[in-house]
Every structure is written in C-alpha cells, then in structure tokens.
Structure 1
Amino acid sequence: MPDETVIDRTRDLSQPLKRLSSDERMKDRSDYLRGTIAEGLLDQITGAVPSSDDVKLMKFHGIYQQDDRDLRDERRRQKLEPAYQFMIRVRLPGGVCTPAQWLKLDALARAHGGETLRITTRQTFQFHWVLKDRLRPIIQGLHETLLDTVAACGDDSRGVMCTADPQSSRYHAEVAALAKRVSDHVIPKTRAYHEIWYGSERIGTSKAEEPFYGRTYLPRKFKIGFALPPSNDIDVYAQDLGLIAIADEEQLIGFNVAIGGGMGRTDQAPETYPRLASVIGFVPVDSVITCVDAVMAVQRDYGDRQNRQRARFKYTIDDKGLNWVKVEIERRMGFVFEDARAFQFTSNGDSYGWNATPDGRYHRTLVIENGRLDLKLLDALRDVARVHQGTFRLTANQNLIVAGVEADKRAGIDAILAEHLPNIGQVSAIRRSAIACVALPTCGLAMAESERYLPSLLSKIEAILAEHGLSDDPITIRMSGCPNGCSRPYIAEIGLTGRAPGKYNLYFGGGFHGERLNRMVRENVGEATILKVLADALARYARERLPEERFGDFTIRAGIVREVTEGRFFND
C-alpha cells in the first residue's frame, strides 16, 4: 500500500504531520484493534491467524502468535506449516493474585496451556503452547475471576509494576492499590476486546472510542513501574515512567518521577541502546494520574512513528533533550515538578524464607527458577492455594511470594511445600539473583537459548565461585536470547544476550541496585570463552576487592570495563 498521512485527532495538530510507518498505518486502519481477528479465529484450515495485520493487532489483546522452533526445520522438510501456537500474557498490576485466581490460572494451564505457566520479569503470568481454538476458553476463564489480558502487549501502556515485598514499607498496600488504579486508567478503551473474546455486541456511540490513544495508539510499548525504597526490585530505572515512593514518618507524600528507561537495542545498530530513566522531579500522591497522562501524551505526540527501532520514549528524550521533555510534561500537567526528594535503594533482589509484614502477618518467598512453573510446582502451589487465605505476589525477579499468612498457618504451608518440593529452599546465591527470558523454542525473536540453557551454565559458574570462596556472594546475572533485553540484562553485574545458537555477548559492570548500565567485554562468544573470562574476573574479584565492594563496581574500578555514564555511550 502506498505511503499516506494519517491524522490522529488526539495528537497536537500544531506539530508538523509525519509520514507514518507501515505499522502505524496498520493500526490506523484496524478499526480500533478489531481488524479481522474474529474471522481469522474461525479459519480451521490453519493453526495460525491468517492475516499478518491481525497477528500484530492481537498483541494489543495480550496474545503473541508463535511456533515451535524445535520442529520448524522438520516440518518445512515435510511441507507442513509451522507448529503454530500462541502465548497469552495476563494483565496483573503489581503482580497481586488471589488464591481463587491462582486456582483458575492453574486449571486453565492444565487444560489448555501445556501443563505449565511462567512468571515473567514484569510480575505476571504467561500461558504457552496454546492452540488457536483454546484462546477464547482461556480468556473467558480468566474473566470469571476478574482477570484479563488487555494491553499486556502492543503499542500501549504495558502491565504496571510495583515493589512486590509486603514488608518493604507500611505504605506498600497504598502504593499497590495506586498501581492497580493506574493500570486500569491507561489501558485502551476500545470495546474490541469484549466483542472478540467475550462475544459482546458492538455498541454505537458518538463518543471517541479511544479518547487518549486515538487511532494509532503509541509509537511503541510504554512501561510503568512503582518502586518503594529501599527496594528497587522492579528495576525502576528500566521503566519508561518510574515512580519512586517518598514517605515521611506519618504518610506517603508522593513520588519522584523518572522517565526514559528502556532495555531494547539491536546488534550492529549503534543508534539503538539501552537507557536508564532520569529523575526529573517530584509530584504529590493526588497528582500521579495527571502526571502519567502528561508523560504518555508527550510520547504519543512526539515519539518517532517512522522508525520503530527508535520509537521508544528514551529516544524521544535524547532527541528532544531532557529539559525540553520535562517542560512539555509540565505544560500538559498545568504545574511544575517539585524538586526530587532524597531516597536510597539498598537492594533489588527478593527476601527469601519467612518474613514479617507491618500488619503482623508473614510471607514466604519461593525461588522459581527462571519463573517456570512446571507440573511439579503447579501441584504444590495448587495445594497451597486451596488453604491459603492471603494473596500470592509475583516478583520482578520471577519468584513467588505467599503473602498475608497468619502465624499459626505457616507450618501448614511449609508442610505442603516440603511434601511436594523437599529441596525448594536449597538454592545458591547466584541462582537467587538470576533471570532469563523464554527464548527458544517459542519466542520468534530469540537467536539463542536462555531459559533452557542458563541453569546448566549456572552450575559451571557455581563451581568457579566455590573455587574462589564466593559461593555466598550475591551477584546479579541475567540472560536474554536476543538483544531486546526482556530479562533486563544490561543492568546486571553479569549480562548475556544471544547472538546465534550457542553464542552470546557478555557484559560486566552493571550496578547491583539497578542504578548503572553494564558494558560489553566479549562479543559473539561461546561457553568456553564465557567461563574463561568469568573465571579470570572472579579470581581477581576474590583477591582484590574492597570490603563490601560489589562485583559490578569492582569490574569498573579494576579496569576490566569502562563505566557507562549514560545510554548514548553504551556502544562506545
């Protein structure tokens, strides 16, 4: 189709109109995310959704079309279409889930999702291995417990994160509730989701169907997260919009606002890079929604709609200038930011075992390796959910908190877990801080293994750590199967991103609390080189480190890597 200019009436029409990319034109003609998805679901000739436009539109509905890449070559040889299946991502603000919701998720995974669930790095669940005719049963089943998949993917505001640990602050409940309110506020308002998945009738109206997003939504995905110092478990600096809670001795008073974080980059494209969010000021609690609207509107109106590689908010900020963007946000809010308040992060991991919460209850954090809930874990946690009277909380480190437990109920939960998972608490320090994306065989973007490979690589790294007396030292390590960085590898002390089967870029120097980007130390190398470079660096760390010095800090001080002071210099 030839280039054409599309006017989005929600946009600032005083700005020059731009030629839009093919994805922008696709969104414009989608009839507010309807496309021909409903018709494609009825096509029984293929396991896929036939229209490539609908494949993209379904992301706004929380669904990715994929295929089993382990079978791809063999099926091609047999002249069969790929083994198509779908991934469904749930919208779960702050990662909070009730026992009733857990039991429904469990039942749906067993019936339609290959008897597995996955906890993501953004505090939600993903179903994998879902066949096309099972999409509606899952989405309608979620609806029965007030869950949905709206905007879990797509060019809109993704799931809103919130510090998971209930003991982190006596204001945790208030901030978690605000995260839920923001999530409900920023999702698309189109009725397309209800019509396609719930069978609702289309209702005629003279009101704008998308009063904020308009016909073309955002240029790319937009991520929001709430952090409660001293915990930076959500990696607030990796968010497009990070809100850092500030409280005095009596109450929650507001949030420091950080903008422009994002992990994605493209290999061999130096104009793309990860970026950490910049703190630009403070807003009181009652101005948070106004601030969120203003920040998203600036990205909506000024984000790059021609080049999707540079369409994230971080590039808008670097192209326009941070101060320009700040002033424009203030203009749209109708007031200026107050000066940012002092805060400090002292951790970005999870607290394991039993811990007390400010309300006198208890929670237990369980390590779920790479977030994968296999049948053994599902069995154990189903039994817990049947007796649990609190909540489950998913962490950004892909772990699970059984929260809100009365003191006299702890032993019962421990007994259930011990019966099913006798070794669940026996996890090394480095495994506790490890994160991996799904990668092969389902992710279409993956260039190398991640979830399936990291556990075996960690076993070899554990041997190196033990040799140098470092087994109990927490070191953050994250692996992604491609450079898009879903596991946030670019802020890990040790980061790995896939380049080809068995080949990775290796990064050192990230901040332990998520406050600094790392830098590449080896490009496109295999396991032998990765282990050799790690062994040399860890041996030096054991010999030469200062008291309390983190591994990432050491690699910079020792000259192993140069410090990255801001995202634009990541590829230098």
Structure 2
Amino acid sequence: MSQTTDRSFDISQSLDDLGPDERMKESSDFLRGTIAEGLLDRITGAVPSEHDVKLMKFHGIYQQDDRDVRDERRRQKLEPAFQFMIRVRLPGGVCTPSQWLMLDELARRHGGETLRVTTRQTFQFHWVLKGSLRPIIQGLHEALLDTVAACGDDSRGVMCTVDPRSSTLHAEVASLAKQVSDHVIPKTRAYHEIWYGTQRIASSAPEEPFYGPTYLPRKFKIGFALPPSNDIDVFSQDLGLIAIADDNGLEGFNVVIGGGMGRTDKDPSTYPRLASLIGFVPAENLMACVEAVMGVQRDYGNRKNRQHARFKYTIDNKGIDWVREEIERRMGMSFAKARAFEFTSNGDPYGWQKSPDGLFHRTVYIENGRLNLRALDVFREIAQSHSGSFRLTPNQNIIISGVQENQRKKLDSIILKQLGPDQPSALRQNAMACVALPTCGLAMAESERYLPELLDKVEAILAANNLANVPITFRMTGCPNGCSRPYLAEIALTGRAPGKYNLYLGGGFHGQRLNRLVAENIGEEAILNILSAHIESYARERETNEHFGDFLVRTGKIENAANTGTSK
C-alpha cells in the first residue's frame, strides 16, 4: 500500500499516552520481537514472551492450551498443555485441489487429524505443538499459501460471496478480493525471516510504508458481497463492498463502513454495530477507496483503550458525515449515490447448481465447519482427481466447484459412501458456532461441542409446531466477542459461564438487522422454555413467508432494532 504522509497520529510524539499494546508494537522491530528465539526454547511448550504471543497473531498464530485438562495439570504442578491455532490466509475462500492436498497432509501430520472451516472462509489448524509451527507454515508456502495477517491489528482475511450460479461475476469479484488481500497485508519481512529462514536485508525504504510501526489500532475486516446473497454478512464488516453489476458486467461497489460484532461483557459502553451505507465507487477506484478507509482508521482509531479501538467506535465518535468526507478527501473524489440492491438470502445453496459456463457445483454440509478424519478422507479422495476448485462458505460449508457433468455421479458416490446423506434440516442449514472450549482462551461456555445437542431439542419444538422446514438463523458463541456473528441471527446465544448464556432474538434473516437481548445468564431449560413460547406464537400468528425475526419485531414481542441502510 502507498505511504500516507498526512497522518494525525505520530508515534514519536504521543507514545507515552498510548496503551501497552501500542508500545509493544512500536518496539517490536516490525513484528519480529524475539519470536525466533522463543521457538528454540525447548523447556516449555509455550512461547515464553508475553509480547511474542501477541506479535505472533500478526503471523496468523494464537497460543492456546487444552482447557479440558488445565485444572488437572495445575494440580499436578505441570504447565498448561500448550498448543497453537494457525489460521490460513485464503481470500474469498478459494482453494485449489493441490492446496487442499497439502492442507490435508499437514492436518494429519501436525494438526490432530482435523481441520476447521471458519466463518470467514478459511482454514484453522488446531492442536499444533510448538515444534510443528515452522513445518506447517513452510508446507503452506510450498502450496502458495500463507498465514500473514490472519490475526492481529491489521486487515484480516478478505471475504467474498460464494455464489456458484454467477460464475463470471464471482470470478471477477473473487479476483479483486485476492488483489485487495495481497495489497493490504503487512509488508514487513519478519514473516519470511522467522518462518522461511530468509536473511534480513538492509534497506533505506520504509519497512511498513502504510501501517507504520504500530499498524492499526485493532483488527479490520473487509468483505465483498454479491447481491442477492449476503452470505458474508456484509453489514458486520469494517469495510463492506456490495458489488453492483449490469448486463455488461461489474460497475462498482456500494460501500458500507463500521460494522462489528464484538462487545465486552463487563463494559456496557461496547456494542455490536451494523455498517453504514455511505455511497458508491466505480470498480477502477476500489483500491483508492480501501486505502482511504483504512487510513482513516489508522490515523483516528482509539489507541489508548483497546475496547474502543475498532472502526465502529471511530465512526460513532467522529460522526459518519465527518468520516465519509475524510475518506473522500483521501480518495480525491466524492462517493456517488448508492445504487439499488436487494439481499434475498444469506445461506448456502444445497444440491447441485449449474452456472452459466456449464459447470456444476455441489455444497457439502460440514457441521460447525469441523472436518474430522472421516471428512478429511472424503475430500482427499475428491481432491486427488478434481479439476475445479473448492470454495469455503461463510456458513462453514464447502462447495466442490467447477465439476464436469460426467463427474457428478462419482462425486455423489464418494460423499454418500463416507458421510451419508448430507442434506441437513432447515435449522441446521442456518446454524453455526464458534470453536470455544476446549481451545479458545476467551471462551466462557461451550459452543461448537454443544450446539448440535441443543439443536436436536429446538428441532423437536419446531416439528411439534409444524415448522420443521422453516429456515431460522441460529448462532452460538462461547463468549460475547461475536466470532460466529451472533448479533445478526434470529436466535443467538453468547456464553457467560459454564452452561449459562445470554439469549438474543429478532435479528434479520438476511443479516440486515441486529437482534435484542431477551434473557441473561440462563441455562438450557430456560432457553428452551422461552424459545418454545415464541415458536408456538410464530406458528399461530405468522404471515405468509414471514421470517421468525421479522415476526418477533412486527408483533412487538421484542423491541425493534435498527435496520441498515439497505436500498431496494
């Protein structure tokens, strides 16, 4: 990215006033820290330096421990069972068969024979030991993959709608998603030196011409949506780009800014926010727009209080009009009036889909995105002969894409033989959970491991009310941070303590409205009682084709939350 010369934030003048993470980044030697030395320490399974643990997030790595055995190990006076999570940078969720085979090999050898598809269209390795970090990253490098900026205070993985029915437009926008991802990742050579073993080369050029030594105040998320599908939940992005096309192809993008799902449980001044629609930019001005938006957050984001460092707080503090005008000033042009668009779905198309190029695409349901050994076996067999690509969806499923008609029967037989029928219920098609326990250090309650069991009980309530085939979005997280985008769901649970959750209801089915908190710190019995009462009312009183969240708002059973600026 190009260097911005009019920064309002000057690290040399204001370092004493900044939070500890800002000082840590500034002194990290552009994300090097002492990571390389810590990897050589064989006395511990951890990276010894607390600062290095934070810096490694910029390299796509989280240090964690197995919380299922934490207490027992403490009693035995042993250090925690340290292990690591590695997140791959995979713009738009597009993966080639050769890349898949490498991911499979690394997962079997170093990742506990499991891979996880995330809600941001990429893969995570879990249960990785310290000695396996370099082998995984070097193996990814052989497959032209990396983990740069998959975590940390920078631009995270760039999302893109997965719609196999619009092959030409999808290919163009997916290509732009990759270009944007390559453009906005940090330019420091620290990653290459630490993980690939390259030598540091002296240079007079700025090592981080855009980010500078302190990078961004917090993470920054970018996503491309292709109406009528809002599978990426574009209004949850810091920068959302809604593709506008006509018969001649892509024209440009409606721009939405300031979305964010996270909140801090004990800080009522934190909140989820829907992105605001600020205008339209032609496709040729896309990169200038991305740089300008990120530049505003870099220069004006809160660097004293990390709880208020996301772009949504910058916008609310400065005002949306001021932020839009500052973006326009940096772009050197004004936004045009937003174009009309409509979202009619945010789920994945199941069954075989045919695109205009004559190729076929099949979605495979992956419960909570977890690829166990049986699923790995299936996809390895497919990848060994597949000539198309794989696409990871924001709903944690996998699309086998670009299939010739004469290969469909073979693929079906492989999937059915190993996995059985993969047409989930309407509720499960629209449900997802974060990882939570036992690996996530932030989790307060179960999520991935508990959701299937809870859905069984909710499905029974729906079936008793003749609603088994009605789609409802249902999302769960083990803490309030919002990794599965719960605050947009019609039904959502966020963890408070073991077996206890906050219950939210009334989000928009297409991701256009936030839900509302209806009960705090409750267990399963109370959750099911509340849902049962609302579902019974929904069965009796709903209008034709009315979604559950819309019904709750229309009938006043919950307070109406604000919609976005979606135009139609």
What is the TM-score of this pair, normalised by structure 1?
Answer: 0.96
Partner in structure 1 of residue 534 of structure 2: 537
Partner in structure 1 of residue 346 of structure 2: 348
Partner in structure 2 of residue 570 of structure 1: none
Partner in structure 2 of residue 480 of structure 1: 477
Q: Note the C-alpha offset of 1:12.
A: 2.6
The alignment status of 1:454 with 2:451, answered yes or no, reads yes
Partner in structure 2 of residue 4 of structure 1: none
Greater shift after overlay, 416-425 or 176-185? 416-425
The alignment status of 1:228 with 2:226, answered yes or no, reads yes
Partner in structure 1 of residue 496 of structure 2: 499
2:387 alignment partner, one of 386, 389, 413: 389
Partner in structure 2 of residue 121 of structure 1: 119
Q: Secondary structure at the match of 2:462?
A: helix
Aligned partner letter, 1:458: L
Q: Note the C-alpha offset of 1:447.
A: 0.3
CA distance in 1, matches of 2:290, 2:386: 35
The alignment status of 1:12 with 2:22, answered yes or no, reads no
1:338 alignment partner, one of 332, 336, 339: 336
Q: Note the C-alpha offset of 1:11.
A: 2.7
Partner in structure 2 of residue 321 of structure 1: 319
CA distance in 1, matches of 2:83, 2:167: 41
Which residues in structure 2 correspond to 1:233-382 (within 5 Å)? 233-382=231-380
CA distance in 1, matches of 2:289, 2:525: 49
Deviations 1:330-375 (A, max 9, x none): 0000010001000000000000010001211000001100000000
CA distance in 2, matches of 1:189, 1:499: 38
Q: Note the C-alpha offset of 1:269.
A: 1.5
Are the counterparts in 1 of residues 164 and 353 from structure 2 also a CA contact under 8 Å?
no
Aligned partner letter, 2:325: V
Q: Secondary structure at the match of 1:128?
A: strand
Partner in structure 1 of residue 404 of structure 2: 406
The alignment status of 1:560 with 2:557, answered yes or no, reads yes
Q: Note the C-alpha offset of 1:415.
A: 1.2
Partner in structure 2 of residue 523 of structure 1: 520
Q: Secondary structure at the match of 2:466?
A: coil
Deviations 1:379-427 (A, max 9, x none): 11110111111000000000000000011111111111122112323x1
CA distance in 2, matches of 1:187, 1:154: 11
Q: Secondary structure at the match of 1:484?
A: coil
Aligned partner letter, 2:560: E
Greater shift after overlay, 293-302 or 244-253? 244-253
Are the counterparts in 2 of residues 168 and 228 from structure 1 also a CA contact under 8 Å?
no
CA distance in 1, matches of 2:49, 2:224: 37
Q: Note the C-alpha offset of 1:168.
A: 3.9
CA distance in 2, matches of 1:382, 1:233: 26
Q: Note the C-alpha offset of 1:566.
A: 7.0
Partner in structure 1 of residue 64 of structure 2: 66
Q: Note the C-alpha offset of 1:482.
A: 0.2
CA distance in 2, matches of 1:235, 1:303: 23
Q: Note the C-alpha offset of 1:17.
A: 4.2
Are the counterparts in 1 of residues 9 and 299 from structure 2 also a CA contact under 8 Å?
no
Deviations 1:70-93 (A, max 9, x none): 000000000000000000000000
Are the counterparts in 2 of residues 68 and 442 from structure 1 also a CA contact under 8 Å?
yes
Unaligned regions of 5+ residues in structure 2, if any? none
CA distance in 1, matches of 2:459, 2:353: 27
Q: 1:14 to 1:504 in 2, by over 3 A?
A: closer
2:429 alignment partner, one of 419, 432, 438: 432
Deviations 1:463-487 (A, max 9, x none): 0000000000000000000000000
Partner in structure 1 of residue 198 of structure 2: 200
Q: Secondary structure at the match of 1:170?
A: helix
CA distance in 2, matches of 1:503, 1:11: 45
The alignment status of 1:215 with 2:219, answered yes or no, reads no
Are the counterparts in 1 of residues 167 and 357 from structure 2 also a CA contact under 8 Å?
no
Are the counterparts in 2 of residues 10 and 214 from structure 1 also a CA contact under 8 Å?
no
User: RMSD of the TM alignment (CA)?
Assistant: 1.3
Partner in structure 2 of residue 147 of structure 1: 145
CA distance in 2, matches of 1:125, 1:13: 35
CA distance in 1, matches of 2:380, 2:512: 37
Q: Note the C-alpha offset of 1:240.
A: 0.1
Aligned partner letter, 1:151: A
Q: Structure 1 segments of 4 or more deviating over 4 A?
A: 13-18
Q: Note the C-alpha offset of 1:557.
A: 1.4
Q: Secondary structure at the match of 2:240?
A: strand
CA distance in 2, matches of 1:249, 1:333: 28
Are the counterparts in 2 of residues 156 and 221 from structure 1 also a CA contact under 8 Å?
yes
Aligned partner letter, 1:433: N
CA distance in 2, matches of 1:353, 1:512: 21
Q: Note the C-alpha offset of 1:251.
A: 1.5
Are the counterparts in 2 of residues 156 and 217 from structure 1 also a CA contact under 8 Å?
yes
CA distance in 1, matches of 2:481, 2:8: 30
Aligned partner letter, 1:189: K
Partner in structure 1 of residue 440 of structure 2: 443
Deviations 1:5-25 (A, max 9, x none): xxx987336999471100000
Partner in structure 1 of residue 505 of structure 2: 508
CA distance in 1, matches of 2:84, 2:162: 28
CA distance in 2, matches of 1:542, 1:529: 20
Partner in structure 1 of residue 129 of structure 2: 131
Partner in structure 1 of residue 486 of structure 2: 489
1:93 alignment partner, one of 91, 94, 97: 91
CA distance in 2, matches of 1:115, 1:366: 19
Aligned partner letter, 1:497: T
Aligned partner letter, 2:354: A
Are the counterparts in 2 of residues 479 and 496 from structure 1 also a CA contact under 8 Å?
yes
Deviations 1:196-221 (A, max 9, x none): 00000000000000000000000000
What is the TM-score of this pair, normalised by structure 2?
Answer: 0.97
Unaligned regions of 5+ residues in structure 1, if any? 1-7, 568-572
CA distance in 2, matches of 1:129, 1:219: 29
CA distance in 2, matches of 1:169, 1:499: 42
1:26 alignment partner, one of 14, 18, 24: 24
CA distance in 2, matches of 1:164, 1:138: 27
Partner in structure 2 of residue 470 of structure 1: 467
Q: Note the C-alpha offset of 1:170.
A: 3.4
Greater shift after overlay, 71-80 or 244-253? 244-253
Aligned residues: 559
